[in-house]
Amino acid sequence: MKKIILSLLSLGLLTSLTGCGSDEKTTSSNKDKVLKLALWDANQKPVIESMISNFEKENPGVKVVVEITPFSQYWTKLETAATGGQLQDIFWINAPNFTKYAKANMILPIQDLVDNKSINKDSFPEGMIKMYTYDNKLMAAPKDIDTTALWYNKEIFDSLKLQYPNDNWTWNDMVTTAKEIKNKTGNYGLALGFAGQEDYYEIISQFGGRVISPDKKTSGFSDPNTIAAVKEIKELLDEKVIPSLGEIADTRSSDLFQSQKVAMTYSGSWMVKQYMKNEIIKDKVDLAKLPLKTKDAAIIHGLGYAIYSQTKHPEEAKKLVTYLSSKDSHDTQAKSGIVIPAYIESQEIWTESYPNLNLHGYSKMLPNGIEYPASLNTGKWEDVMNEYLNKVWMGELTPEKACEIINEKMNAILKEEV
């Protein structure tokens, strides 16, 4: 997309496309100004729309239309809209895609909202502000924050008279318990998803390693701690403590957990709503912070509200983003329990949204959060990383050799970004 958009920019075509993000029929002075808001999670639509309803009451003459595209199609659709000058006025952005859109001038800076105190950046985690800052300007308003915790099935633990996971658990406590459950029941005690953030990104962090350097210029796969984490996961596979990559391909780790075929799993905070909707497990499960290995750390990520640089209604779009960034809006989001709000003071409200769950298992990970690994070409090096890590999980490469190859290829990709 970068090449296409940069080509458009070089030809000056985007100038002619200025203002195409909004419905032309709605721009006349005697009609409402319509803002289109793009997002991918239908579960969040009722909460978002309730906040928008209040915004519209306070801002007569402005209407907001929520457009939902499933995540599997969202980025393709957004890219097509960007190249055609038809991006929605406001859209959800995530860390892996942020730099690409910011560098292609698709996002309107909102640093002026910080400078005039409309958005107080101190109200949000520093990592989130840093995540969505480009060229020293805030480009997207933090919406929510997510991290990972260890979920467990209390009924399985009770049946085996095992101690529940707790905030003082170590990595060895978890592995020992997983082995004991496997030995006693024949079912897996622990499942990982091999999906990145919810598993090996977290484990690399717990072992004190890095996926990418903090300055995003070099790979973290030459770090001995990163290699040790990959070796540890391979050992768990070899000892059949966790399901194989093939087994997870057939049934996701979260599905194994929901069908009570596994006692523990790593799950992101976005799974809370899903688990609590499941009548089979909702009263049988709980969670704890991730077990301690070398470092009490976890990957944090979160979404942001970005404004299309060519929107016809920049002032109204900024008003909406400011409104969605307020404490009241984040409190509304927190009470729904659907995601952890990015607004720090609202996060405690979220931990009370499900009184039967120890949601502090998530919030206790936030102070030690590590920014989600991303750069301009995240997708390119993620493909390399997944290709060679999968060879490790399938026994085709040693962890050391795979990390060596990933390190070399990833550094070559990152070098092109400079």
The answer to whether 317 touches 114, Cβ cutoff 8 Å, is no
pLDDT (0 to 100) of residue 28: 41
The CA distance from 363 to 347, in Å, is 8
Looking at the DSSP bridge assignments, the partners of residue 256 are none
Q: At what angle do helices 45-58 and 314-324 cross, to 10 degrees?
A: 120
pLDDT tens per residue across span 300-331: 899 999 999 999 999 999 999 999 999 999 99
| Residues with Cβ within 8 Å of residue 182, at least 6 apart in sequence | 188, 189, 240, 241
Which pair of structure tokens corresponds to residue 402?
Answer: 């795979």
Which pair of structure tokens corresponds to residue 145?
Answer: 């924050």
**Low-confidence residues in the chain, pLDDT < 70:** 1-30
The sign one gets for the Cα dihedral 114, 118, 120, 125 is negative
pLDDT tens per residue across span 89-140: 999 999 999 999 999 999 999 999 999 999 999 999 888 998 999 999 999 9
Q: At what angle do helices 45-58 and 327-336 cross, to 10 degrees?
A: 150
Which pair of structure tokens corresponds to residue 417?
Answer: 């970004």
Running DSSP on this structure, what letter comes out for residue 219?
Answer: B
Whole-model pTM: value is 0.84
By three-state DSSP, how is residue 326 classified? coil
Which pair of structure tokens corresponds to residue 3?
Answer: 């090449």
What CA–CA distances, in Å, run from 93 to 100, 104, 361?
Answer: 11, 14, 26
Looking at the DSSP bridge assignments, the partners of residue 309 are none
Looking at the DSSP bridge assignments, the partners of residue 286 are 152
What CA–CA distances, in Å, run from 6 to 10, 87, 101, 129, 191?
Answer: 6, 16, 11, 26, 43
Q: Which of 153, 174, 398, 201 is nearest to 289 (CA)?
A: 174
The CA distance from 415 to 381, in Å, is 12
Strand pairing category for 133-134 and 90-93: unpaired
Start-to-end CA distance of the chain, whole Å, equals 18
Count of beta carbons in the 10 Å neighbourhood of residue 67:
12
The C-alpha angle with vertex 93 and arms to 56 and 323, in degrees rounded to 5, equals 25
| Residues with Cβ within 8 Å of residue 351, at least 6 apart in sequence | 359, 360, 362, 363
pLDDT (0 to 100) of residue 197: 86
Q: Which of 378, 353, 373, 301 is nearest to 142 (CA)?
A: 301
The answer to whether 235 touches 172, Cβ cutoff 8 Å, is no
The answer to whether 346 touches 324, Cβ cutoff 8 Å, is no
pLDDT (0 to 100) of residue 220: 97
Running DSSP on this structure, what letter comes out for residue 107?
Answer: B
pLDDT (0 to 100) of residue 30: 56
